[in-house]
Amino acid sequence: MKRKGLGFYFRIYCKILAQDLKSKMSYRADFIISTIGMIFTNISGFISFWILFRSFPSINGWSYYEMLFLYGFSLVSLTPVQCFFDNNWSLRQYVYSGDFIKYCFRPINLFFYYQSEVFDIKGLGQLAFGIGTLAYSWAKIGLAFTPLMLLKMIVFLITASLIMIALQNAAAATCFWIQNSFYVLDLAFRFKDYAKYPITIFSPVFRFIFTFVMPIAFIAYYPSLVILRPDEVPLLSWLSPVFGVVFFLISYRIWMYGATKYSGTGS
């Protein structure tokens, strides 16, 4: 057997992705409706945001455009989890029904094989919307646009994505131990709504929770400080790429450990 490196997995992923897109388009009505749905979700999200901040031009020293920047940042950083890890939402059903066992029989990484099966194209609308919001607020705040800034931006966007992915993996993996993990997953998913606000507006208790317990402050707040407030970047911001990678690896381990504990149902 040949060794299976990154190149192998990348090729396989592209092929599965292409097939998945093909099959998605074969359900044409479903494809169109879900795309329209995603656009409306984003627009309504933006409108509620806009109504809220029209009344408060600044919160705790955060201007409207800075808030908008955070909002855009969180949208972009949530895209990978939406696009590539959406199958986590179905994990519970696969485990419950015993169908999860089919993933155990292939000679490739179990986590990879499972996640590769679904690519959620709706995330792309969110990505476009997020990038638009980011660019707009970037211009309005008058931030410089240098290669270094762009590099920082990309590194911290990846960081933020990894943390959200880690949260979702860990939350989804709970179904290997408890029957109804939907609430855990839903909780993690709802918490991310708080990610788009600067955590300084929350009470110290929640600040602590969002930093160390459910680290959603790393999804937008800490990383974007590096761009928005270059003079007062806390240590946590600089450490967030490390946290991102570490959290992701931990969540991967939890997920895989859960999968090995899985014994399947009788047939």
Partner 1 sequence: MSPIIEIKNVTKEFKVLNRREGLRGSLKDLFSRDYRTVRAVDNISMDIEQGEIVGYLGPNGAGKSTTIKMMTGVLEPTSGEILVGGNVPYQNRTKNAQEIGVVFGQRSQLWWALPLVESFRLLKDIYQISDADYDNMLALYQSLVDIEPLLHKPVRQMSLGQRTLSDILAAFLHDPKIVFLDEPTIGLDVSMKSKIRTLIHALNREKKTTVILTTHDMGDVDALCRRIVIIDKGKMLYDNDIEHLKGFFGSYRTLKIRVDGDLKTQADVIQNALRDFSVSADDEWISILVDEEKAKVIDVLGQLQRSFSLRDMQLEEISTEEVIKKIYEEGVQ
Report the half-sphere exposure of 117 (CA within 13 A, side-chain side).
15
For the CB of residue 263, give the shortest distance to partner 1 in the complex, in Å: 6
Which residue lies nearer to partner 1 by CB, 129 or 176? 176
The residue from 7, 57, 107, 147 that contacts partner 1 (CB under 8 A) is 107
CB nearer partner 1, residue 1 or residue 6: 1
CA dist., res. 88 & res. 185, Å (int): 9
DSSP 3-state of 117: coil
Helix 28-55 vs helix 6-26: crossing angle, to nearest 10:
100
Q: Which residues neighbour 105 within 8 Å (Cβ) at sequence distance 6 or greater?
A: none
Do 114 and 90 touch, CB atoms closer than 8 A?
no
Residue whose entry in the numeric block shows the structure tokens 């990610």: 195
CA distances from 146 to 30, 68, 98, 133, 233 (A): 42, 21, 52, 19, 19
Asked if 180 interacts with partner 1 (CB under 8 A), we say: no
Beta partners for 62?
59
Rule CB under 8 A: is residue 108 a binding residue for partner 1? yes
| Among 35, 43, 50, 102, interactor with partner 1 by CB under 8 A | 102
- Residue 253 carries which side chain, given as an amino acid letter? R
Which residues within the stretch 6-45 sit at the binding site for partner 1 (CB under 8 A)? 11-12, 15-16, 19-20, 22-24, 26-27
Residue 259 CB, nearest distance to partner 1 (Å)? 10
Residue 252 Cβ, how far from partner 1 at the closest point, in Å?
Answer: 16
**Residue whose CB is less far from partner 1, 2 or 190:** 2
Q: Which of the ranges 103-111, 128-136, 218-226, 230-238 carries the binding residues for partner 1, by CB under 8 A?
A: 103-111
Which residues of the shown chain bind partner 1 in the complex (CB under 8 A)?
Answer: 1-2, 11-12, 15-16, 19-20, 22-24, 26-27, 98-99, 101-102, 104-109, 117, 262-264, 266-267
